[in-house]
Structure 1
Amino acid sequence: MAKVVLITGGSSGIGKTVGIYLQKQGFKVYGSSRNPENVTENAFPLVALDVRNNESIQKAITDIIANEGKIDVLINNAGVGITGPIEEIPLEEIQNNFHTNVFGPIEVIKAVLPHMRKQKSGLIINVTSIAGYMGLPYRGIYSASKGALELITEAIRMEVKPFNINVTNVAPGDFATDIAARRFHAPVLENSPYKEVYSSQLATINEHVNDGGDPIEMAKAIQAIIQTKEPKIHYKVGAFMQKFSIFLKMILPDTTYEKILMNHYKLK
């Protein structure tokens, strides 16, 4: 019997690529979108789900269980980007980012756990980011939200292991998706002390996404995780230097690593 997979944020970007790939491998895939009626073409069913709305989360999970009788794999992929000097990002945008990238995934996990516990099996994959392993200038809020989800994964993984439920995370680097168009950019203010550097970094950040790898790498990595009997806690998928940067952070003194980042981002 085919495994049932739910991918939040499955209408575009990495989520859509993963969904199409898994469906071709024989999985029964459901994606989610805040407004599935606006998606004209999708290779797999989309359910209405806004991770910031608990009622929509419960309804989506209930509907899939009614159709399939189970959810074997949850891929918490829905997320939003955010850039800007922390001093200049409005509080409501910071709160929205954490609601989407941290609180939402937690609520989706809480909604599927009773069903996975009942079926005595399940796998939850949280899509985080390599940026979540370090505080990046002008991406500090995004780094913090993804880093928070990494730690949530570590904790809840231990809590649910006795129920034969596995939790893991996969941290992508830069992939060529439409995330740059959908993220919140704090505006470059004319009188801002950050104007020159932030304006330059904004262009570089978008360039890195546009020049990123093929999201099919994420799809293949996630399929491999699903087929692994005992998944690891952390997986990283991306360019060698992006993954190597995490290793450097572990072995170098904090100030040395900070200097490397500041040189990379041309900060003085």
Structure 2
Amino acid sequence: MAASRSEERDQNQPVVLVTGCSEGGIGHAMARAFAAAGCAVVATARSRGSMRGLDGDPRFLLLELDVRSDESARAAVADALREHGRIDVLVNNAGVHLVAPLAEVPMESFHQVFDTNVYGAMRLIQSVIPHMMERRKGTIVNVGSITALAPGPWAGVYSASKAALHALSDSLSTSLQG
């Protein structure tokens, strides 16, 4: 009988879930770096096909995840836990940018950016926190941006979403430390 991935894995090997791992992006590079450092990596993106270069490598569990969906976030965390038994690190990297004059941005575009960059991170946090609290262990990394502190004239929506993510991160850090 073949051993499962979790049985083959070293129990001391950290399990890292990274969102936004499409080829060519920061998440893809982080997934590769975590794997090179000996971590078991759960790499996620809206489409498995967008994670070219990670497929076929046993160090990666590739999952489809749309951070804009509560159901998708819960399912990805459940799949990672079923496969690896735990999640040690969550890296909320998925994000979208919007370049436009702030006064002309349609409200629907505002909603889409915030739904991905802010609410998407919170969906994953709320999905993984019960597991981490039960273990009394875990790390959450939210990928921010310097534009939260120094917004440009055409990056207002993106900058505002990253500022909100910074504020949520600070609040979570204070409230979750035990």
- The Cα of 1:8 is off from its aligned counterpart by 0.4
Structure 1 gaps of 5+ residues are 163-268
Q: Is the 8 A contact 1:3 1:72 kept in 2?
A: yes
TM-score (norm 1): 0.59
Query: In structure 2, what is the Cα distance between the partners aligned to 1:24 and 1:17?
Result: 11
Match of 1:48 among 56, 64, 71: 64
Whichever residue aligns with residue 145 of structure 1, its letter is S
- The Cα of 1:21 is off from its aligned counterpart by 1.1
**Do residues 31 (structure 1) and 43 (structure 2) align?**
yes
Query: In structure 2, what is the Cα distance between the partners aligned to 1:37 and 1:22?
Result: 20
- Rg larger in structure: 1
Query: In structure 1, what is the Cα distance between the partners aligned to 2:74 and 2:140?
Result: 17
Corresponding residue for residue 129 of structure 1: 145
Q: Is the 8 A contact 1:97 1:145 kept in 2?
A: yes
TM-score (norm 2): 0.87
Q: Closer, same or farther in 2 for the Cα pair 1:38/1:15, shift >3 Å?
A: closer
Q: Is the 8 A contact 1:131 1:146 kept in 2?
A: yes
**Do residues 148 (structure 1) and 164 (structure 2) align?**
yes
Q: Closer, same or farther in 2 for the Cα pair 1:38/1:138, shift >3 Å?
A: closer
Q: Deviation string for 1:228-255 (max 9, x for gaps)?
A: xxxxxxxxxxxxxxxxxxxxxxxxxxxx
Q: Is the 8 A contact 1:10 1:46 kept in 2?
A: no
Structure 2 gaps of 5+ residues are 1-11
**Do residues 101 (structure 1) and 117 (structure 2) align?**
yes
Q: Is the 8 A contact 2:22 2:52 kept in 1?
A: no
- The Cα of 1:22 is off from its aligned counterpart by 1.1
4+ runs deviating over 2 angstroms: 37-41
* Backbone CA RMSD of aligned residues: 1.2
How many aligned residue pairs are there? 162
Q: Secondary structure at the match of 1:46?
A: strand
Q: Secondary structure at the match of 2:177?
A: helix
Corresponding residue for residue 5 of structure 1: 16
- The Cα of 1:75 is off from its aligned counterpart by 0.4
Q: Is the 8 A contact 2:21 2:51 kept in 1?
A: no
Query: In structure 2, what is the Cα distance between the partners aligned to 1:150 and 1:87?
Result: 23
Identity of aligned residues (%): 38
1:240-251 matches, within 5 Å, as none
- The Cα of 1:38 is off from its aligned counterpart by 4.9
1:1-268 matches, within 5 Å, as 1-12=12-23, 13-42=25-54, 43=57, 44-162=60-178
Q: Secondary structure at the match of 1:82?
A: coil
Whichever residue aligns with residue 145 of structure 2, its letter is S
- The Cα of 1:89 is off from its aligned counterpart by 1.3
Q: Is the 8 A contact 1:11 1:46 kept in 2?
A: no
